[in-house]
Amino acid sequence: MLPTKDQYSFADLVKIMRRLLSEDGCPWDRQQTLTSLKQYLVEETQEVLEAIDEGDPEHLQEELGDLLFQVVFQAAICERDGSFSIEDVITSISQKLVRRHPHVFGDEPAGSPEDLRHRWEEIKRQEAAARQPRRGDHR
């Protein structure tokens, strides 16, 4: 049994989710799929937007937690199915943030916020082009 704490870490949340999906976990959670959870992902995103509009930090904190749970839940299902883990998701977004901020993590000058937005979009286009299989490439 996981002890009740005053403060939990991200690692604790991942452990909780893995337990919920385990053989002796929650039957409802275990039957969920990426598709069955789509509606909750949309609902939680909408609730985050509403909390932002309200300007209530406590409500926003709660709703961000619900949205984070959806991300962890989806990743846990993917891990169970052998696709990837939450650690892979974290690595992927971290690599992307470093790549798309060469003015912070590299030696490019920062420029204006508008320059940075354009640079972000250019890097994003380059990444998309690199992912596209070339004509005649049968990967």
Residue 1 has pLDDT above 70, yes or no: no
Average pLDDT over residues 11-18: 95
How does pLDDT run across 18-64, given as a tens digit for each residue?
Answer: 999 999 999 999 999 999 999 999 999 999 999 999 999 999 999 99
- The pLDDT score that the predictor gives to residue 63 is 97
- The pLDDT score that the predictor gives to residue 135 is 59
Question: Are residues 84 and 78 in contact, defined by beta-carbon separation less than 8 angstroms?
Answer: yes
Q: How confident is the model at residue 138 (pLDDT cuts 50, 70, 90)?
A: low
Between 3 and 64, residue with greater pLDDT: 64
- The pLDDT score that the predictor gives to residue 78 is 97
- The pLDDT score that the predictor gives to residue 104 is 92
DSSP one-letter code for 135 = T
CA-closest candidate to residue 14, choices 60, 74, 63, 91: 74
- The pLDDT score that the predictor gives to residue 111 is 86
Question: Are residues 110 and 103 in contact, defined by beta-carbon separation less than 8 angstroms?
Answer: yes
Prediction pTM value = 0.83
d(CA 84, CA 21): 15
Question: Are residues 87 and 79 in contact, defined by beta-carbon separation less than 8 angstroms?
Answer: no
How does pLDDT run across 74-105, given as a tens digit for each residue?
Answer: 999 999 999 999 999 999 999 999 999 999 99
Q: How far, in Å, are 47, 127, 130, 133, 135 from residue 138 at the CA level?
A: 43, 19, 15, 8, 8
All structural domains of the chain, each given as residue ranges with its CATH number in brackets, are: 10-86 (1.10.287.1080), 100-132 (no CATH)
**CA angle in degrees (0–180, nearest 5) for 44-7-65:** 5
